[in-house]
Homo-oligomer: A and B are copies of this chain.
Amino acid sequence: MVNDSVMTALLEFRSKRNWEQFHKPKELASALTIEASELQEVFQWKTEEEVAHLLSSPSREKIVDEIADVAIILSYLCHDLGIDLNGAVLSKLQKNEAKYPVEKAYGNAKKYNED
């Protein structure tokens, strides 16, 4: 997820505030949706052109901050559950390779059980 020194800083931040007690797995999963939704809100009602403008305006910092918030929660979650994220992603990627074979999925984001 994040590198070791950043993870250490995250854990120190949490420990200093005695916030481990709030970080139950279910709460962190809920927080992940909340943070992701805040990122989504930055793009709400916007056209593709307006999003492009946003990304090269001072609002970019807000977007980066919201992405960081998601990453922070995800990092705590992986740390607390003992998940090796690189391994988890590779394992899921293999499942996705089987689920979306190139010959069927090429240029097509539909699931195969859709109309």
Contact = CB atoms under 8 A, between A and B. Distances in A.
Interface residues of A, number: 78
A44 B16 contact: no
A9 to B, nearest CB: 6
Contacts of A108: 17
Contacts of A64: 81, 83, 88, 91-92
Contacts of A71: 1, 74, 85, 88-89
Interface of A: 1-3, 6, 9-10, 13, 16-19, 21-22, 24-27, 29-46, 48, 51, 54-55, 57-59, 63-65, 67-72, 74-75, 77-78, 81, 83, 85-86, 88-93, 95-97, 100, 102, 105-110, 114-115
